[in-house]
Structure 1
Amino acid sequence: MDGIYFYWIGWGAWVIATFFMAKTKSRMYTAIVILVTIALSITELRIFGYEVSAAFVFSVIIGYFLLSKLAFLKLLYYFITCIILAFAYVSFSLFALYDPVWVIFDYSLMLATTLVVLTLFLVKDQYLRVVSLTVGAIQGEVVYSVVLHSIYYQKPIGTLAFFDMLAIAIIFTYLWYSFELFVEYTDSYFKKKQRKKDVVING
């Protein structure tokens, strides 16, 4: 059922943001964005002849707003990053459409994994990973829908299936980020232990 991953992950993220994050403005904004996105997911708009999810439009606004706050050179880099991610999204989706045999696992899972691997390779900061991934996927979804529309097949933009994929991808980035923190902590712990041992030996 489309939307099941999005709703479960979305509500889970909202609970974490609301009850477990430090009481800052960032926590409040995060909780509001998640809640509004979930609320708008059931509403559709008609824009330039396309059926577009209101949650998708909201995500576009938030994504570009967050990118616009970056310094010019950073903005340029992440703009290119988002284009690469969008290209990957469109390429994968078109291959899956015209030759579905090679999609051996769940489509959303494979697409999410592809985008996450590229994001991890191109972006080091976790916050910017989420923003770049979201904007790249959004741009890819728009281009893919326009391409399908040009061959007389109208695909709604920003369906629940899209948000399923995006939610899975974002969770993957946080899992990897948790692994990075674990490795960093373990490395720091053993280095500190080694330094103490060296002090004792050198007396």
Structure 2
Amino acid sequence: MINGLLFYWFSWILWIVVTFFMKKSKRRTILACWILVTILSSSLSIEMQNQQISVAFLLLVGGSFILLIQLPRVVYHLFASFTIMIGYAAILFWEKSAPIWMIAPRVILISFILGLLITILTKGLYNQLSIGLLGLTCGEMINGLMLSSYGFRITIGEMQFFDLLLFILVILVFLEMLHKGKDKLYVVLQNHKQTVKWQNE
């Protein structure tokens, strides 16, 4: 699969959802602009101290910090992001040292592992997106700096990373939709039972 294909698909889908389906608010405008600028800058990179860093990656890091400080229980969510960061960096190290154990495509395997970890650590889509973004971006930065210390020249925030990130976000959104659908179905069934009970009486 071409690197970046999942990123562009899911990013535009996410932008459409935010722009046309979220309630009109300042948050919607900021999120839509953030997604659009991230898409536009995904192919740009800058060099900082002999290290190539994607401009879109820097936008994600800054945006994820802003999202995190707006959450309740900031210390807990910061610790959860730290856990995601260590988990993601460890998986990448495991992939480099023993690639034979990657029994499924890396995007699918890593996404489901980290998606499960994020849903275990916190509830609520907004909280999950915040700690997921911060943890993954910091984990990618640690991995890039560690590889560069061994002489490997890579760009922090390559398209492979963005594919993985967007796939995880889609998994989190899908799980949230299933959860809300289950709650609505439960309410409908309860109302139906009450209606049948009243009719029988």
CA distance in 2, matches of 1:54, 1:20: 28
Pairwise CA RMSD of aligned residues? 1.3
| Residue in structure 1 matched with residue 52 of structure 2 by the alignment | 51
Q: Does 1:182 align with 2:181?
A: yes
Does structure 1 conserve the Cα–Cα contact (< 8 Å) formed by 2:84 and 2:132? yes
Report the CA distance between 1:112 and its aligned residue: 1.3
CA distance in 1, matches of 2:56, 2:110: 20
Report the CA distance between 1:188 and its aligned residue: 1.2
Paired residue secondary structure (2:52): strand
| Residue in structure 1 matched with residue 159 of structure 2 by the alignment | 160
Name the stretch that deviates more: 143-152 or 120-129.
143-152
Letter of the aligned partner of 1:78 in structure 2? H
Report the CA distance between 1:46 and its aligned residue: 1.0
State TM-score, norm by structure 2: 0.94
State TM-score, norm by structure 1: 0.93
| Residue in structure 1 matched with residue 96 of structure 2 by the alignment | 97
Identical-pair percentage: 24
Once the two structures are superposed, the pairs formed by residues 49-88 of structure 1 within 5 Å of their partners are 49-71=50-72, 74-88=73-87
Name the stretch that deviates more: 189-198 or 107-116.
189-198
Paired residue secondary structure (1:41): coil
Report the CA distance between 1:152 and its aligned residue: 2.0
Q: Does 1:125 align with 2:124?
A: yes
| Residue in structure 1 matched with residue 21 of structure 2 by the alignment | 20
Paired residue secondary structure (2:47): strand
CA distance in 2, matches of 1:48, 1:75: 31
| Residue in structure 2 matched with residue 135 of structure 1 by the alignment | 134
Name the stretch that deviates more: 19-28 or 96-105.
19-28
Which stretches in structure 2 are left out of the alignment for 5+ residues?
A: none
Q: Does 1:172 align with 2:147?
A: no
> What do residues 35-83 of structure 1 show as CA deviations (whole Å, max 9, x unaligned)?
0000111110112321000000111111101112234xx1100011001
Report the CA distance between 1:8 and its aligned residue: 0.8
State the number of aligned residues.
Answer: 200
Which stretches in structure 1 are left out of the alignment for 5+ residues?
A: none
Report the CA distance between 1:145 and its aligned residue: 1.2
Letter of the aligned partner of 2:45 in structure 1? E
Letter of the aligned partner of 2:147 in structure 1? L
CA distance in 2, matches of 1:16, 1:127: 15
Letter of the aligned partner of 1:150 in structure 2? S
> What do residues 127-153 of structure 1 show as CA deviations (whole Å, max 9, x unaligned)?
111111111101110111122122222
Letter of the aligned partner of 1:139 in structure 2? C
Name the stretch that deviates more: 19-28 or 43-52.
19-28
